Chain A
Amino acid sequence: MLKFLVYRVATIVPVLLGVSIVVFLMMKLIPGDPAEAILGPAATTEKIEMVRKSLGLDRPFYVQYVRWLWKVVQGDFGTSIAVNVPVAQLVWPKFWNTVLLTAGSLVICIVVGLGVGIVSGTRQYSWFDRISMSLTLVVANTPAFWLGLILMVVLALYLGWFPATGMYSMRASEKTVADLIHHMVLPAITTASVSAAIIARLVRSSFLDVIRKHYITALRAKGLSERDIILRHGMKNALPPIINIVGLQVGYLMGGALFTEVVFSWPGIGLQIYSSIVARDLPVVQAAVLVTTFVFVLVNLGTDVVVAALDPRIRRA
C-alpha cells in the first residue's frame, strides 16, 4: 500500500509540471502582445518596449517559464490587467465559493445517485427502475445552463421558493449559513444534475453486477437478510467503481460549475473565469485554470488512494 501511495504521488509531479507548461504556453499562444493589451491601443512603441522588459517578455521562453513558475509556487500569479490588483487576491475567495458550491453539489450527487442507483440496481425492471433510468438518461443529456434557467423560472421567478441569483441576500445584515444554503439549492441542483444521473446509472449497473455474484447466494444461505446483504456486502463490493466515478465527477462539477455560476451569478471561480475572458484579463484566467486543475489532480489522487485502500487485492500488494 505504501509503495502504491509513493508511486501514485510520484506520478502527479510530472503531470503538474506539464499542466503548468500548458497553462503557460496557452497564454503565450494568444494573438496579440500582452504589453499592448495592458497599455491599450494608444501606447507608444517605447512604452511598450519598457513594459515588455519589465514583464520579462524579451527573455527566451524557458526563462520566462521558470521565472513565472517560481513566482506561482510562491503564490504570486501576477497582477490583474482589468482591475489592477494581485491575481491571487482576486482568485482565492472566488475559489472557495466554488468549493462550497461543488461540495453542495457533491452531497446531492451522492445522495441522489447512490439512492436511485441502489434501489434501481436491486429492483431491476421494476417501475421505479424503468422510470428512474429513463429520467437519468434525459437528465444526463440536459445542458446544465439550460436546466439552471428552467429551475430559475419555475422555482425562483414563478414560485419564489428560492432566490434567483447570488450567494447571500443583499438586504441581509449578516451572512448566515441558512441564507447561504437557501441561495445554494438551485445552483447546487443544477451543477449536480448530470453527475447525479451518471452516478445513478453506474451505481445501478455495479449493483446489478454484484447482486448476480455467487457469493450473494452463499450469503443468503447463511441466513442474512436482504438488507444486510445489500448494505454490508453489496455496498462494500460495489464501492470501488462508485468511488472512482464520484472522484471523476468532482472534476466535472468544478468545471461544470462554471455554467451554473454564470447563470445564477454565483461569485465563484467559474464566473471569474467567464468575466475575465470577456474582459481579456488573461492572467486571472491563467491562475484560475491552474488552481482548479491542481485541485482536480489532487482529488483524483485521493480517489485512487481510497479505492486502493478499499481493495484488499491492492492493499496487500
Chain B
Amino acid sequence: MSVVNLPVKEEPLDGRGLPLDAAEAQMFRRPSEWRIFWEAFSRDRLAVGAAVLIGLVCLVSLLAPVLAPYDPTVGDNALRLAPVGTPGHPLGLDGQGRDILSRLIWGGQVSIIIALLPVTVASLISVLLGLVAGFFGGKVDMVIMRALDVFFAFPAVLLAVAIAGVLGPGMLNVMLSLTIVLIPYISRVAYMATVTVKSELFVDQARVSGARPSQILFHHILPNTLSPVIVYGSTLVGILIVLGAGLSFLGLGITPPRPDWGIMCSDGRNFLSVAPHVSAVPGIMLILVAMSFNIVGDGLRDALDPKLRK
C-alpha cells in the first residue's frame, strides 16, 4: 500500500499526451497560469472596460446610503415627473416625485444581488451535482441527470415566473426561483467538464499512481470543472439581471416602495407618453450592466481557453 501511494504530482501533458520537458512544464505552474490568464484578459480592452463598469456600479450601489442624494422612497409632489436635467435631480423624478438617481443607486443593490446570489448558490450546488454525477457515473449519474432533465424541459422564464408566482412576492422567493431555474443549466456544464476531464490522461496517471478517489476528485477534476462554470456563470449573471428585473416588473420581486431597476421600469408605465424617462433610465442601466457581464464572460472564456489565447 505504501509502495504505490506515492505523492501524486500533476504531470503536465501536451496535446499528444507526452510529458513536457522541465522548461515547458515551468509554464504550467499555477501562479504563472494565473499570470497568463491575466495578461490575456487585460489585453481584451472591451472586457476590462466592462469589468470596470461592473465594479463601479457595485461600488456605487454598496455606498448607496452615502452617495444617494435623496431618500429613494420619499417623493416631492411638486416636482412629479420632472424631466432629466432638472436642477438637483439630474435624472429627473418619477410619478411620485421621487429622485430617479437615488432610486437607481439604491435599486442597484437589489438588482445585482437578485442575480449574483442565485448564480453563486446555483453554481455551488451545480458543481456538486455535476461532479458527483460525472465522476461516479452509473446509477448516481442517471438519477441526477434525469432529474435535471425534467427541470430542463420547462421554458426557463416560465418556470421562474411560475415558482416565484406560486411562492408569492418577495426578494427571497425570486432568488429561490431563479436558483432552481439555473441549476439544470449550470449542472450540465459542470457535468460535461467532469466527464471530459475524467477521461484525460493525467487523471489516469493519477489513478495508476494510486491516488485515492477523493484525491482525484478534488485535486484533479474539481479545479478543471471550475473554469467553465465560472465562465458560464459570469455570462448568466447578465441574463439573470434582466430576468430578475422582469420578475420585479411583474410585481413578483421586492415589495414597494423599495426600488429595484425592474420595478422602476414598471413604475413608469403609466406615464409613458408624458414622461418616458421614468422607464427609460433604469432600462438603459439594465442593458449596460447586463451587457457588461456578458462581455466579461466572453473575455474570461477567451482568456481561459489556451486555444483562443494567442
Contact (A15, B265) CB under 8 Å given A141-B294, A146-B286: no
The reply to whether A277 and B161 form a contact with Cβ atoms under 8 Å apart is: yes
Which residue from B153, B161, B167, B291 sits with its C-beta under 8 Å from A297?
A: B153
Q: Give the contact stretch, choosing among A103-111, A150-158, A179-187.
A: A150-158
Please, which residue of chain A has its CB at the minimum distance from the CB of B245?
A: A143
* Interface hits, A182-217 → B, CB 8 Å: none
Top-3 shortest CB links A-B: A18-B150, A255-B157, A255-B155
The reply to whether B147 and A18 form a contact with Cβ atoms under 8 Å apart is: yes
A contacts with B, residue count (CB < 8 A): 48
The reply to whether B272 and A152 form a contact with Cβ atoms under 8 Å apart is: yes
Shortest C-beta distance, A112 to chain B (Å), equals: 19
* Interface hits, B258-292 → A, CB 8 Å: 262, 265-266, 268-269, 272-273, 276, 279-280, 283, 286-287, 290-291
Q: Which residues of A contact B283 (CB under 8 A)?
A: 142-143, 146, 149-150
Q: Give the contact stretch, choosing among B12-20, B201-209, B221-229, B247-255.
A: B247-255
B interface, CB within 8 angstroms of A = 146-147, 149-151, 153-159, 161-163, 165-168, 238, 242, 245-246, 249-252, 262, 265-266, 268-269, 272-273, 276, 279-280, 283, 286-287, 290-291, 294-295
**Interface SS of A by simple majority:** helix
The reply to whether B157 and A256 form a contact with Cβ atoms under 8 Å apart is: yes
A-B contact pairs, 21 of them (CB 8 A): A15-B149, A21-B150, A22-B151, A29-B166, A31-B168, A137-B294, A142-B286, A143-B245, A143-B249, A145-B265, A146-B286, A149-B269, A149-B279, A150-B280, A153-B276, A251-B155, A255-B156, A277-B165, A285-B165, A285-B166, A300-B153
The reply to whether B291 and A138 form a contact with Cβ atoms under 8 Å apart is: yes
The reply to whether B158 and A258 form a contact with Cβ atoms under 8 Å apart is: yes
A242-268, CB under 8 A of B: which get 1 and which 0? 000000000110111011001100000
Contact (A143, B242) CB under 8 Å given A26-B162, A285-B162: yes
Q: Which residues of A contact B250 (CB under 8 A)?
A: 259, 262, 274, 277
Q: CA of A157 to CA of B279 in the docked complex: distance in angstroms? A: 15
A interface, CB within 8 angstroms of B = 14-16, 18-19, 21-22, 26-27, 29-31, 137-138, 140-146, 149-150, 152-153, 157-158, 251-252, 254-256, 258-259, 262-263, 273-274, 277-278, 282, 285, 289, 292-293, 296-297, 300
Which residue from A31, A153, A296 sits with its C-beta under 8 Å from B154?
A: A296
Please, which residue of chain A has its CB at the minimum distance from the CB of B166?
A: A30
Q: Given known contacts A18-B150, A31-B168, A251-B156, what 8 new A-B pairs fall within 8 Å (CB)?
A: A18-B147, A141-B294, A143-B287, A149-B279, A150-B283, A254-B158, A255-B157, A277-B252
The reply to whether B155 and A296 form a contact with Cβ atoms under 8 Å apart is: yes
**Interface SS of B by simple majority:** helix
The reply to whether A30 and B167 form a contact with Cβ atoms under 8 Å apart is: yes
Contact (A273, B238) CB under 8 Å given A22-B150, A137-B291: no
Q: CA of A296 to CA of B155 in the docked complex: distance in angstroms? A: 7
Residue of B147, B153, B268, B283 contacting most chain A CB atoms (<10 Å): B153
Q: CA of A209 to CA of B245 in the docked complex: distance in angstroms? A: 35
Q: CA of A86 to CA of B63 in the docked complex: distance in angstroms? A: 52
The reply to whether A142 and B161 form a contact with Cβ atoms under 8 Å apart is: no
Shortest C-beta distance, A129 to chain B (Å), equals: 16
Contact (A141, B291) CB under 8 Å given A19-B150, A149-B272, A277-B252: yes
